[in-house]
Structure 1
Amino acid sequence: MRLRNKPWAKPLMAENPQWVVTEPEQFRGKWQTRFAKEAPIYIEVGMGKGRFIVEMAEKYPERNFIGLEIQTAATGMALKKQIEKQLPNLQFICANGSGLETFFAKNEVAGVYLNFSDPWPKKRQAKRRLTYKSFLKQYEYVMEPKGYLEFKTDNMGLFEYSLTSLNNYGMKFEQVWLDLHSDEEAVVDNVMTEYEQKFSEKGQPIYKLKAQF
């Protein structure tokens, strides 16, 4: 969902270059230099307002996290959270996520999160879905061999499509949840996004998969 323009977002990003990168190609193969210490790097493609990636960075201080978002307004809102928390293991990229191979070196990333991505429901829009084969190829390139792709959505159609797409690509599923919040064990470790909380409170099932190349 596209947010309304936030005139303050770009100036805020310009004032805080220690947290936000707008030309990620410059750090290809060198992302560890952006963090306080070296650690496995996990990225969220399409972080929205940043709730998930910020809470993950808080929960797992032994890991490094990068939230990637194309919308300046959303990045600005995530940045506000980081300015308040000052997490040393969190960075943001404001750029188009379709260029991951130019942002990260081969095997530079430990894991990829896709949360509540745009479903692009029309058949002609399939290539825009973040689980389309061209995107999977990029994730495979940037992610280390033992890394995992985790995907959550409230959209059954997109989830069914994604299961097929990943299977056709030859990926191995570690686990699939058709109603994530009904699984007590899964909920204990689950970190929610803004959309996830909204939809789950309305009784909407949340679908999730965890898979490996």
Structure 2
Amino acid sequence: MRTKKVKQAFEAIHQSNLIMTTPQIIRSEQPMVLEVGSGKGKFITELAKLHPDLHYIAFEKDINVCYRILEKQEALLLPNLTIVQDDANALLSYFEPKSVSKIYLNFSDPWPKKRHHKRRLTAETYLKMYETILVDEGELEFRSDFEPLYTDSLEYLMTSRFEVYWANTQCEAREAVSEYEEKKRKESPIYGFKAKLK
């Protein structure tokens, strides 16, 4: 999905002390919850507002939507939210092993062409990174409106250290809902699963 360019995004992000743009290890005394691919940030900022006892990390590579997350963070005054503007390939540069309690993958790019499947955020390369940074019995939660990504992802998990304990082809809305999910659940079923690290 193409995103609109925000004229002031580059300057605002590089002047803000609320966004990380270069790798450094994130630490918190609170349990850390990571969303990989946070979009405009409605989902994760709502969660951060609801659960001040947890530390949320919005990991997003698009500078324009990172700016939208920053706007929400500043409006809601969320000290328990860290925004990272970087590619998911760099995850291990930001997190120590066994430091993250939960990872959300919400409506990630489905990369439908077979030659691009290795770019999916549920592909083996990424699952290995999640296995490294999650605590023992840490959780991976996934949602998508693209059924082939859902079914393929369940298959990818079979050769990983993740064990699926819940899967659904008609997911109900959660306590926080992204802009994308609000739109898509009017048009199609929402597919999802939850898996724990074995």
TM over 0.5, shorter chain? yes
- After the TM superposition, which segments of 4 or more aligned residues of structure 1 sit over 6 Å from their partners? none
Pick one of 161, 179, 189 that aligns with 1:194.
179
Larger relative helix fraction: 1
Residues 55-82 of structure 1, C-alpha deviation per residue, up to 9 Å, x if partnerless? 1101111100000000000000111011
Name the counterpart of 1:141: 132
Q: What is the CA-CA distance between 1:11 and the residue it aligns to?
A: 1.5
8 Å CA contact 2:131–2:161 kept in 1: the answer is: no
Name the counterpart of 1:10: 10
Segments of 5+ residues of structure 2 without an aligned counterpart are none
Alignment of 1:53-202 (within 5 A): 53-181=44-172, 187=173, 189-202=174-187
- State the identity as a percent: 35
Q: How many residues align?
A: 197
Structure 1 Cα separation of the partners of residues 101 and 41 of structure 2: 19
Name the counterpart of 1:22: 21
Q: What RMSD, in angstroms, separates the aligned Cα atoms of the two structures?
A: 1.2
What is the identity, as a one-letter code, of the residue corresponding to 2:11? P
SS in 1 for 2:52: coil
> Normalising to structure 1: TM-score of the pair?
0.89
> Normalising to structure 2: TM-score of the pair?
0.95
Structure 2 Cα separation of the partners of residues 102 and 87 of structure 1: 24
Q: What is the CA-CA distance between 1:2 and the residue it aligns to?
A: 2.8
Segments of 5+ residues of structure 1 without an aligned counterpart are 33-37, 182-186
Structure 1 Cα separation of the partners of residues 40 and 118 of structure 2: 24
Q: What is the CA-CA distance between 1:170 and the residue it aligns to?
A: 4.0
Name the counterpart of 1:211: 195
What is the identity, as a one-letter code, of the residue corresponding to 1:40? P
